[in-house]
Structure 1
Amino acid sequence: MVSGVVESSAIQSGAVESGAIELDARGIRIEGGPRVVLCASLFYFRLPREQWRARLEQVRASGYTCVDVYLPWNFHETAPGRWSFEGRRDVAAFLDLAQETGLYVIARPGPYICSEWDGGALPAWLGLDPELSVRQNEPRFLAQVTAWFDQVLPLLAERQYPAGGPVIMVQLENELDFFDCADRAGYLTALRDQTIRHGITVPLVACSGQGDIEGATGNVPGVVPACNFYPDDDSPDLEPEVRRYAELLADRGLPLLITETNRRHRTLRRLLASGASLIAPYLQSSGWNFGYTPSTGNWGDPANFMSHGYDFGGYVSSTGTERPEYIQAQVLARVIDTLGPRLALATSAGASVPGGPVTADFPTSSSPSALDLDGGGRLVAVPHLGAADTAGTAPVTAPGTAVVNGVPVAVAPDSCPLMLVDVPLRSWGYDGTLTLASADLVAASDGVLTFSSEIPVTVVVGETRGEIPAPTAGAPERTTVGGLTLVALAPADAARLRATDTDGTAHLTDAPPSRSTPPLPPLPPSTVRAARRRSAGAPEQPAGSHELPPTLESLGVYRGRGTYRTTADLTDVDELLLVGAADIVDLSIDGRARPTITGFGAARRIDVREATGAVAVEAVVEIWGHANFDDARLPALRLGALRGLGTLWTVRDVTDVSALWSVRGHWAGLPAPTRALGGWSSTRVGLPVTYTRDVRSDTASALHLRGVVEPVRVSVDDGEPRTVTAEDPWVLLPAGTHQISVALPHHPSGGGLGAELLGLEPVTDWSCSVQDDDLLTGFAATGPSQGQDIQLPLTLEPGEEAWLDVDLPTSGDGFLVRLDGTQIRVTGWAAGECVGRVWAGDGDRPTFSGGDSNIIWVPAGWSGLALLVRGAAGPGDPELRTLRLESPDG
């Protein structure tokens, strides 16, 4: 073992000893004890503070021994230089609770975290500095990171294991291999040096999101590579891929740390058998995006809005309800505990199993993994990738048969038993060898082996074979083989196992070990039809006059919304071009509300032929969230991109410029042939060909490339080429004559391309007002000083808003509020917090990801519910029909 902090030559050897935490090719040791660590993501910033302890205890009761915790920079720095570590932001208190609960912590302070969180936790105002480059070895960005690390790293240093707290590792950055970082080594070195300066001595890790270890770590000494795997759970090829990374890291003297992966325990078992020492499924304990904190994300067509419910189907729901997978967690944890150091010090056996390769009559891995256990014997994972139907719509798939160590055994569908082969039993009170066990071993002592299974269990001791019948819940099965007592429990009972007597009697806990206190009985669903409508809306803060629409961030709004107003001369104007608008834009022209725009910054043509002369233009622009990923297809999806109206142009003329392009490339000679855009023909299909022509406009203009399917490269006046995509096939040009070059893959049919040039004039002289999230939250908390009682449904005009206050009945578990309506957006507040936003019944809304996007959660004890309801333009009248209250445990 070598120091993980100062001796660079020693660090290069790979193994890391950092106080009580040691990492080497054999795995993880904590205070000398080898461990396989199961780790659940659990985020304090996505939970009410009063629920922190219960959620931590819930994770501990699942058998997991660790939580990984992001620390979002922009959750704690709420405005430049304004720091908050109180209330729900008291991360020190959360870490202290984790220690009291008996959980280790992997702390992940970024500076970038992704996590489908607003901006990936990078503060929105960083984008206001054109010289600052995020996630780069660049002085301006690193100066901002230093300010963040100066706040947060001392909290972590004080809580490192074992002296002051539960923190056993600190992660730097997050999946940097997805990002175009120019100097990875320099950037990671700068982050590493800052952590060391603040006294962090536990191992530092950096995770790769797509298997590029060097891309994630820069190969910086003292930064341990970790891997994130998100496979198809049904893929037969998972094991050989994971084993490859285990071998690569073992060659460096390091263990395989899987810092993120899928939540399904069938998959986690396959990872364990493939050599993982740390398994941290993301996201096992779900949460909630309070406030204006969801991101605009990296999924969808072309992108999405992350919902306020942050739930990907982990073993605990966003409101704390345990799912069936929770029992699977407890059973896997018992297997790991039972095998203890034998498993923690195991080494990969590849796909090698005594008695020949595993064969099966069901879909399984193309190369099942096995581990050589410390002290002898092997563990073999045998996944049955067929599905067991649980909905009652089709027959349940019958167990299949696998041949392991020469013995046919039954394997249930949708399972992955961890079978033991040729394991010495002396340490468990029996002088013999477990030749084969076809089910999970969840307890072993004094000549008694206890298994978990839903189907019959095959056990071979020495050369004697025994069968344990399939157990049912509450009815264990027992048998004896050569004096060895064998017990089989159903998984639900195995999860509750407390002890097994020498005669095989199993003692179970009285209730599943989940919550510290049992939940109150759920209230029956009910419908709310009454509310009180406030007589006035929230105040606006004037934000000055501006020649062109400014970004909301430049007006001091990092979360919230703003209003832009002007008068535009639309004489002889048929259309407008809106460029760069994000996130949610409600545009009204001449008093007529238009359908909501959510184009992620893409240029949008707007027909205004029905308006003429000087007309009022108003735009209400709301920030849903800043991009958490870096996606070059659309302007607002770039990491660090700003929000606001963008630029509104009047279109003064439109000229088709599809013809008269000169061709360069393939065998085109000189003088260059002249063809229509995309019209060159050759046999070199797919290879780029360049089309060039001059365009001229006396005003600013926009080149629109029609029919783009695959990305093309466009350069202006021999400048740096830029990529133009189907999602935003536009190039803005200043007034004058410009040479345009378009390089595109050759398609013999021409691909249906065309081009047009739009002459533009900007709409100017804007006045602005803003409502940031603090202002809106403060107004919501004031309650109705004046107003009227109303009955739902509430019908609004497009663009009209209403503030409602709703009385909720008392409930010990809080409520899920499900909204039924058409063409409305609703923001809810309770107990001084924004609890969520719902966009209902509107075909113009974008794709949503995460949890249920049509509900708002009001946690227990969060009194009052204030709603801001806004109508959106569409085919019908905006209407809020009902509010349905549901129990979180219903």
Structure 2
Amino acid sequence: MTVLDTRPGLTTSGLVLDGQEQVLLCASLFYFRLPRETWADRLAQVRASGYTVIDVYLPWNFHELAPGEWDFAGRRDAGAFLDLAHEAGLSVIARPGPYICSEWDGGALPAWLPLTPGLRIRQAEPQYLDAVRGWFDQVLPLLAARQHGHGGSVVAVQLENELDFFDTADRTAYVGALRDMALAHGIEVPLIACAGQGDAAGATGDVEGVVPAFNFYPSDASAFVEPEVRRYAELLAGRGLPLLVTETNRAHVTLRRLLVSGARVLAPYLQASGYDFGWTPSTGNWGDPGGFMTHDYDFGGYLSPVGEPRPEMVEARVLAAVTRTLGARLARAVPHAADDAYRTDVPTSASPSVLALDGGGTLLGVPNLGDVAGPAVLAAGGGGRRALADVADDDLVVTLRPHSCTLVLRDLPLDGFGLDGTLVLATADLVGAGPDGLVLAAHGPSTLALRSGDGTPVVVRLDAPVPGSPASVDVSDGATTWHVVVQHPQDVTDPDGTRHPAPAGPSGRAAVAHAAATAARITAARLLDLPTRTGVTVRHDLPPASEQVGVLRGRTHYTADVTDVTELLLVGAADLVDLALDGQAQPTRARFGATELVPVDGATRVDATVETWGHPNFDDVRLPAMRMGSLRGIGQVFSVTGREDVHALWTVDGGSQWAGEPAPLRTLGGWSSTRVGQPITYRRRLDVDGTSPYALHVDGLPGSARVHVDGVERLVTATDPWVHLAPGEGREITVTVPHAPGAFGPTTLLRLEPVRGWDVEAQSDHDLLALAGSSAGGAPVDLPLALDPGDERWVDVDVPSGGCSIRFEGTHVRVAVYAHDELLGRVWLDDDARPRFTGGDPGRVWLPAAWNGGTIRLQVRATAGRTDPALVAVLVTPSKE
């Protein structure tokens, strides 16, 4: 008896499941961004989109809450989620990291890893690999037990994530170690590694058995998507591999362009949006350069964070139906350039793509990248292998909708569908075919041409279909008749044959405005007799990092005596830094660790509350707290005990920009020659005493500079233009920059002394959740609630039943919202000190229906700024979960 090998395989036709070749559409869906009570419904929604695969990150630090403290229960039960995916008929590409990015706290790397001396993250370094092994020992058996072919849904496992963005010293050794761990745990499905910027070797280390995949994030309006994608498809085809696009844009106009250019797995990120509960958003380099990720994790995919379908859901079902209908013909197709396939005046591709379908026929992509509809005239050959010379020119005109990609199907033999003849031309999408006929979908009028033999095709003009009322027509050519049904895209069914209602309501910014305008406005509250801190402190000589006192997520409070101090220098303070001098609150600092001078103005005590928004999910050298592995807290704090102007008396080494000695003496940046852009070096000795720390401030630094301190190179950037010198460093310093005539701003050398004697209160996320769950008496209060800068109070608010989107009116307050023993989210209202927020709606907090006990608890902190702090109202909008 022959035993069928059901293990997934990779061929040039893609990821082959149970011997079936088909282009696969994959939606990201993350259990850790959803309440467990919603998992089954969200999986069903993805299934209803027509997508048949989901990709799932598994975040290390979501499951290891502290060193050796593992949690796979409740909403952390990843195995239960994978089992539900299998029950829903969805395959899974599992992505256990160890680094996942995903705009998640630290990219899922535990915050305590950098506390181990000598440990280097994402390197083939023994201490780091031992830590990863501990994680893989937990997660890989969970995946191995749920592999496709073993009664589960996992069809591929991704190792690492976009490693080509990171400076890994020995990529081969590192990825090879991860591969060996996976194999040792019985992973039999394909192992993949995704390249974030097209560097396959950078992502995989060229390790045998690890297949490169690619993440493409072009502008949807780019004219160059097709030639870029074809290049990668051709490179991989030469190795007998498919082009797996593991992340890309969500718009189906772009997905169609990738499809006709050779992609065999299409995994737009993030089609099914989610929500970051707790202290799990990251800080990222999407800002200027820093930014905070919102709790509302949303990039405009076809499902909103609260599960509301969006218009792209319709396009998803259409494209899924096309891939199902064409099946292996499409999966085995070969992409080609089709530069002469059509003419149009609308913005379109610089080099369109056409697929030569297996078994005959072509599929051409005709994009309109502009805002206005316009015609395209198809060439008679259309880039295919057979001409359509018998169809008049006016029949070859296609109206292109704005931001669309029309798929033109030509010369498709119909015998594989149980039909006679050839589909000579279809400008509508072929979403179904079988012995009963053809099913097409189109937003507007389209053209269809059929032929039973080698004679003249029968050309049919198809009117624009109406939602809910498919049109049908019988097309005859001699003795052959084809029954044709034309649907509006809204009427295209899911893989199970179910028709779904069209998504209703606005999306994007319009949805936010609509929600605010229709929300219930609540002003009744209860002001609680509940402290926001314990007040229990531990004395430290120097201020510890938050992670050093057990605050991996949460807040750390610092107090120190600053009598006789005139200026403080903060080095590496992050993320949200609220300072008070003698009880007088200052505006919040959120500068991502950049060094900052703080005038003390005669105060004798400094208090600081430092809240972790999140650890960086990306490695950005421009700001200290944006480096992966950077710690949180107040950082290093120095008293400034001396200043020296060192802007002048730098010797200039311009290399070939002049000849002769002695070298000129100029101000820093001061030199002029015609060789603009060439490196130029400034050198001088600094008057350091050998026992004190110092800091050199280079104001006005353009871009970045290479600075050598006693021969050791450092990078200094305009976003943090400071050179920090430990005792004994800095007698000889050089600054090398591209030459641009004109001096920098002033350059100052500060002599420093560490501020000592700190009383520190650690307030971890567990501590805050315990406080938020405490019973407390209180008094009714009507909003607005006015507070003094620096004040913090607990407030209870009753809310309607069911799932809710919660927003706030107010100014100069930060609000943390708690319910169901969870931090639902944090918002920051109307404050000039607020940094850029990226991702979804920074003002929305989601209260899931299953977590709604009728009351939310708010921790309200007033911030200093241009107006008096006040929480004015709570706005509640029902969510359609």
TM-score (norm 2): 0.92
Give a deviation string over 1:419-470, Cα, whole Å, max 9, x none: 1111112233443222211110111123622211111111122332211111
SS of aligned partner of 2:562: strand
From 94, 111, 118, give the equivalent of 1:124. 111
SS state of the match for residue 96, structure 1?
helix
Structure 2 letter corresponding to 1:387: D
Aligned CA distance change for structure 1 residues 91 and 653 (closer, same or farther; 3 Å): same
* 2:626 is the alignment partner of 1:637: yes
Equivalent of residue 363 in structure 2, options 364, 379, 396:
379
293, 296, 302: which is aligned to 2:280?
293
1:368 pairs with 2:359: no
Amino acid at match of 2:171: R
Question: What is the match of residue 71 of structure 2?
Answer: 84
Paired residue for 1:209? 196
The residue type paired with residue 184 of structure 1 is R
Q: Does 1:242 find its partner at 2:236?
A: no
Residues 749-793 of structure 1: CA distance to partner in whole angstroms, max 9, x if unpaired?
225344111122222110100110011112212232x22111111
Give the drift of 1:180.
0.3
* 1:777 and 1:833 in contact (8 A); partners too: yes
Residue 678 (structure 1) aligned with residue 669 (structure 2):
yes
Q: Unpaired runs of 5+ in structure 1?
A: 1-16, 389-396, 500-507, 515-521
Offset of 1:19 from its aligned partner?
A: 5.5
1:579 aligns with 2:559: no
Counterpart AA for 2:558: Y
Q: Does 1:172 align with 2:159?
A: yes
In the alignment, which residue of structure 1 is the partner of 2:848?
A: 859
More moved, 550-559 vs 404-413: 404-413
Partner residue, 1:107:
94
Name the structure 2 match of 1:780: 772
Most deviating of 585-594 and 486-495: 486-495
Assess if the C-alpha contact under 8 Å between 2:13 and 2:22 holds in 1. Answer: no
CA offset digits 1:543-579 (Å, max 9, x no partner): 52112111000001100001001111235x2x32211
**Residue 491 of structure 2: aligned partner:** 493
Give the equivalent residue in structure 1 for 2:795. 804
Q: 2:596 aligns to what?
A: 604
Cα deviation, 1:311-338, whole Å, max 9, x if unaligned, reads 0000000000000000110111111111
1:39 lines up with 2:26 in the alignment: yes
Can you list the C-alpha shifts for 1:466-512, whole angstroms capped at 9, x where unaligned?
Answer: 1111112123233343332332211111247987xxxxxxxx74756
| Cα displacement string for residues 398-438 of structure 1 (whole angstroms, at most 9, x for unaligned residues) | 55554463633332222212211111122334432222111
1:152 aligns with 2:139: yes
d(CA) in 1 for partners of 2:5 and 2:59? 25
- Residue of structure 1 in register with 2:40 after alignment: 53
Q: Secondary structure at the match of 2:367?
A: coil
Q: 2:470 aligns with which of 476, 487, 494?
A: 476
- In the alignment, residue 748 of structure 2 is paired with which amino acid? E
Measure how far apart 1:113 and its partner are.
0.2
Give how far 1:77 is off.
0.3
Taking the aligned partners of 1:446 and 1:88, their CA distance within structure 2 comes to: 46
2:722 alignment partner AA: W
Root mean square deviation of aligned Cα: 2.0
Maintained 8 Å contact 2:375/2:398? no
* Structure 1 residues 19-73: Cα deviation after superposition (integer angstroms, max 9, x where no partner): 6211122322112111211100000000000000000000001000010000000
Q: 1:691 pairs with 660, 682, 701, which one?
A: 682
Cα distance in structure 2, aligned partners of 1:642 and 1:531: 37
Q: Is the alpha carbon distance of 1:650 and 1:457 closer, same or farther for their aligned partners in structure 2, counting shifts above 3 Å?
A: same
Distance in 1 (alpha carbons) for counterparts of 2:361 and 2:535: 71
Change (3 A) 1:184 1:662: same
- 2:172 counterpart SS class: helix
Against the structure 1 CA distance between its residues 90 and 447, is the aligned structure 2 distance closer, same or farther, given a 3 Å change threshold?
closer
1:648 pairs with one of 637, 642, 655 = 637
Letter in 1 for 2:244: L
Q: Is the 8 A contact 2:490 2:501 kept in 1?
A: no
**3-state secondary structure, aligned to 1:326:** helix
Counterpart amino acid of 2:734?
A: S
Residues in 2 aligned to 1:889 and 1:165: alpha-carbon distance in whole angstroms: 31
Alignment of 1:816 onto 2:823? no
Aligned residue for 1:188, secondary structure, equals helix
Task: Tell me the residue number matched to 1:534.
Answer: 528
Correspondence for 1:66 among 53, 57, 76 = 53
Distance of 2:499 and 2:761 partners within structure 1:
60
Per-residue deviation at 1:616?
1.2
What are structure 2's unaligned runs of at least 5 residues? 383-387, 389-395, 452-456, 505-514
Q: How far apart, CA to CA, are the structure 1 residues paired with 2:671 and 2:290?
A: 34
Gap change, CA 1:691 and 1:18, over 3 Å in 2: farther
Q: Does 1:628 align with 2:617?
A: yes
Pair 1:428-2:417 in alignment? yes
Q: Which residue of 2 aligns with 1:880?
A: 871
Contact 2:684 2:733 in 1 (8 A): yes
Matches of 2:5 and 2:540, distance apart in 1: 56
Matched residue, 1:840: 829
SS of equivalent to 2:405: coil
Given the superposition, is the C-alpha separation of residues 398 and 771 from structure 1 closer, same or farther in structure 2, using an over 3 Å criterion?
Answer: same
CA distance in 2, matches of 1:357, 1:851: 39
Give CA-to-partner distance per residue, 1:685-740, whole Å, 9 cap, x none.
11111110011134322100011121001111112x11110100001123456111
1:229: Cα distance to partner?
0.3
- Provide the residue aligned with 2:437 in structure 1: 448
Greater alpha carbon shift after TM alignment, 678-687 vs 44-53: 678-687
Structure 2 match to 1:556 = 550
* 1:705 aligned partner, one-letter code: V
Q: 2 CA distance for matches of 1:645 and 1:208?
A: 35
Which one of the candidate residues 719, 734, 740 is aligned to 2:733? Answer: 740
Instruction: Tell me how far apart the structure 1 counterparts of residues 287 and 501 of structure 2 sit (CA, whole Å).
Output: 42
AA of the residue aligned to 1:681: S
Q: Aligned partner of 2:826: which letter?
A: R
**Distance in 2, Cα, partners of 1:152 & 1:496:** 32
Partner of 2:183: 196
2: CA distance, partners of 1:331 / 1:668: 70
Q: Aligned residues: percent identity?
A: 53
Partners in 2 of 1:594 and 1:455 — Cα distance?
Answer: 60
**1:239-269 deviation line (CA, Å, top 9, x unaligned):** 0000000011111110000000000111111
Q: Distance in 2 between matches of 1:888 and 1:148?
A: 36
Q: Could you tell me how far apart the structure 2 residues matched to 1:510 and 1:772 are? A: 45
Alignment match, 2:703: 710
Q: Which residue of 2 aligns with 1:268?
A: 255
SS in 2 for 1:141: helix
Change (3 A) 1:18 1:582: farther
**Distance in 1, Cα, partners of 2:28 & 2:659:** 58
Report which stretch shifted further, 116-125 or 370-379.
370-379
Q: Find the counterpart in structure 2 of residue 669 from structure 1.
A: 660
Residues 576, 613 of structure 2: 8 Å contact kept: yes
Distance 1:806 1:643, change over 3 A: same
C-alpha contact (below 8 Å) 1:230/1:262 kept by paired residues: yes
Query: What residue number does 1:391 align with?
Result: none
Report which stretch shifted further, 473-482 or 621-630: 473-482
Pick from 860, 871, 874 the counterpart of residue 862 of structure 2: 871
